[in-house]
Amino acid sequence: MNEENQTAMKKRVQRLVYIAAGGKINEEELGRHDTDLRTLGLDSLGYLNLLEGLERTFSVAIDLDHEEDHTFLHTIDNIVRYLSVQRGAAA
Amino acid sequence: MIGALARGPIQDAMTEGLGRHRGRTAVVGSEPLSYEELGERIEAAAGALRDLLPGEARHVGFCLGNRPEYVVLYFATLFAGHLPLLLDANFNTGEIEPIRSDCGLDALVVERAKAAGLDVPGKGNPVAFGDDVAILPLARQSEPSFGARPSTQVCRFTSGTTGRPKCLEFSGHAVVSAARNWILGTGMTGEDRTLCLAALSNGLAFNTSLLSTFLAGGEIHFLKGVPLTRPVARRIVEAGITRLVAFPTLYRNFVAPGGPDPTLLSGLKHAISAGAPLWPDVREEFRSRYGLDVSDYYGIAETGPCTFERDASHHTGLGEPLPGVEIRLAPASEDEPGTGEVLVRTESMASGYLNHPGQFEARVDAEGFYHSGDRGRLADGRLHLVGRTQDHINVAGRKIDPTEIVAVVSALDGVADAVAFPDEDLNREALVHLVVVAAAGEGTKGVTKETVAEACRSRLAPWKVPGRISFVEEIPRTGIGKPRIAVLREQLNTKGSMA
């Protein structure tokens, strides 16, 4: 994925996190893509909403049972990296 | 034989269920377990628990997410003659230690990975149970502050509004009554297959899914991982699930654009929601899309299940009282004719709070009715809730005392005043809104949203951390100093719309 696509994808994920958190995290804070979303206040319901949003928006199946390491969910950078791999694998 | 182990109302009822339904499937996690196999596993685990925890009535805390091992060890604890205390799976050292000091814990049932990280004194070597569960023996550091009643067979916890989770004691008779009345009131049968997504430590799941399933001869199913609509729908189809026990957010995700195909849920007969009020439009949309009404179950931690709507053509309110449940309204104010505080008397009432003696009794009147703190009205024999009589904030079914949050924040340098009240986020999920007034003048250490949030995160349980923090120059108050929340909300809305 080229840099332009990566940036666009990060913006889409950033928006999904904002929606998933019900607006409790401001968009400025979410602009730091390497910040741990848990420290910004994304709670368990927020994560549930985020996973639903990611699955539907990017047409991927996120099966956490098969993921040993869940750190891919902790930052927007990591989510985008994970999605890129998933979508690449599905292609 | 399992019957040779400790006896009591729950063990007797379970022994009867295990015997009557031999050969049928009882529990399904990743693999199905028959009633016969379940009985054998309970018996073996009860023996192991007796060896691990010699003596009578030892206290076994369950701090574990739903899975078949939870069911086996819960009943095994009872058959071993010990007392299960069902804690929130998210509790950590900060919540576990006060419970241990108040109520006493001789062992904890936890995920094996969590056992290693728990920082509790007197921790013994974890004993593996199944693939990922451990029983962690705990040496008593001192005698607990409070002793359980002799009739107590199960303890569950309310989220606690004062920093220490309240430990509710239930007799075996109360637990069995809740299960039998649920079966009777909701028409549960041996053909029912319940997918239980609510935590078994929660009254909803405990009363609707655990013992009731085994008395009826049905199946209880657990889903590993995060309850996303896709795997939930897949399980409903593949396992022929007839009852879904879940929470409002899941139903909202089902009706959101891109939700599962309506045909996938065609075998479902009951969809039950609890923990927080279900949004009326979500209920309507779910009915429209999936052809099924979501039963907005009403239960109270202290009383057990209260109402259920069995009439599929009735779409408002929380249903009629279940068998064994009586509901009254306390005299209402003249401003709201027909409404009043909901008073409940059930056969499944708690006996009291183990670690807060007298507080439960203070809310039960001379006729045995529990004063719920909810305001409601009765129409067509159905209960309709209209609000709360108390100032607690209900976030995802957990009651939070705003004064506890205010006390933490007010202790910070640079905070002149603060108030917390219920609000909603953009997804209409309940949250705690904290409003802070920064102190003026020299010496103020520059209190910010980040410092306030960090103080809350470090001193409060995760669900008590405010979801929204605002700063104002002054909190409007009445002549006697009570915050005028309606005025404050208006000011904040105006401020927000101007920003």
pLDDT tens figures, B262-279: 999 999 999 998 777 788
Domain of B463: which CATH number?
A: 3.30.300.30
Name the residue facing B468 among A24, A61, A65 (closest C-beta).
A24
pLDDT number for residue B499:
38
Residue B160 pLDDT level (bands cut at 50, 70, 90): low
**3-state DSSP helix/strand/coil % of chain A, to nearest 5:** 70, 0, 30
Query: Containing domain of residue B161, as a range?
Result: 2-172
Mean per-residue pLDDT, B322-348: 87
A-chain CB neighbours of B452 within 8 Å are none
Q: Write the DSSP symbol of residue B277.
A: P
Residues belonging to chain A with any Cβ–Cβ distance to chain B shorter than 8 Å:
19-24, 41, 43-45, 47-49, 51-52, 55-56, 61-65
Residue B39 counted as domain residue: yes
Residue B497 pLDDT level (bands cut at 50, 70, 90): very low
Residue B296 pLDDT level (bands cut at 50, 70, 90): confident
pLDDT number for residue B267:
92
Hey, what domains does chain A have and what are their CATH numbers?
3-90 (1.10.1200.10)
Determine which of B50-54, B84-88, B91-95, B454-458 has the lowest per-residue pLDDT on average.
B91-95
Residue B468 counted as domain residue: yes
Residue B398 counted as domain residue: yes
- Residue A70 confidence (pLDDT) above 80: no
- Residue A42 confidence (pLDDT) above 70: yes
Name the residue facing A23 among B226, B425, B465 (closest C-beta).
B425
- Residue B485 confidence (pLDDT) above 50: yes
Name the residue facing A52 among B229, B424, B465 (closest C-beta).
B229
B468 contacts A65? CB cut-off 8 A: no
pLDDT number for residue B442:
47
pLDDT above 70: percentage of residues in chain B: 94
pLDDT above 90: percentage of residues in chain B: 57
- The strands making up B304-308's β-sheet, listed across from edge to edge, are B298-300, B304-308, B320-321
- Residue B62 confidence (pLDDT) above 60: yes
- Tokens in use for A81? 């990296």
Backbone angles phi and psi of B201, in degrees to 5: -75, -15
Mean per-residue pLDDT, B459-479: 85
Pseudo-torsion of CA B455, B457, B463, B464, nearest 10°? -10
Mean per-residue pLDDT, B419-447: 83
Q: Which is higher by pLDDT, B11 or B414? A: B11
- Tokens in use for B145? 């502050």
pLDDT number for residue B140:
86
Nearest-CA distance from A66 to chain B in Å? Answer: 10
Q: What value of ipTM does the predicted structure carry?
A: 0.86
Instruction: Choose one of B143, B172, B201: the last residue of a domain.
Output: B172
Place of tokens 């009715």: B369
Q: How high does pLDDT run on average in chain B?
A: 89
B429 contacts A22? CB cut-off 8 A: yes
Instruction: Choose one of B172, B205, B229: the last residue of a domain.
Output: B172
Residue B103 counted as domain residue: yes
d(C-alpha B221, C-alpha B153), whole Å: 24
Residue B293 counted as domain residue: no
- Using a CB–CB cutoff of 8 Å, tell me whether B441 touches chain A: no
B-chain CB neighbours of A48 within 8 Å are 226-228, 249, 253
Q: Which is higher by pLDDT, B444 or B396? A: B396
Residue B319 counted as domain residue: no
Instruction: Choose one of B112, B142, B172: the last residue of a domain.
Output: B172
- Residue B365 confidence (pLDDT) above 80: yes
Residue B445 pLDDT level (bands cut at 50, 70, 90): low
A-chain CB neighbours of B425 within 8 Å are 21-24
Determine which of A41-45, A60-64, B332-336 has the lowest per-residue pLDDT on average.
B332-336
B431 contacts A22? CB cut-off 8 A: yes
Domain of B97: which CATH number?
A: 3.40.50.980
d(C-alpha B242, C-alpha B246), whole Å: 13
- Residue B149 confidence (pLDDT) above 50: yes
Based on the structure, what is the number of domains in chain B? Answer: 2
Residue B434 counted as domain residue: yes
pLDDT number for residue B495:
67
d(C-alpha B146, C-alpha B135), whole Å: 24
Q: Let me know: does B228 contact A55? Beta carbons within 8 Å.
A: yes
Nearest-CA distance from A53 to chain B in Å? Answer: 9
Determine which of B63-77, B290-304, B380-394 has the lowest per-residue pLDDT on average.
B380-394
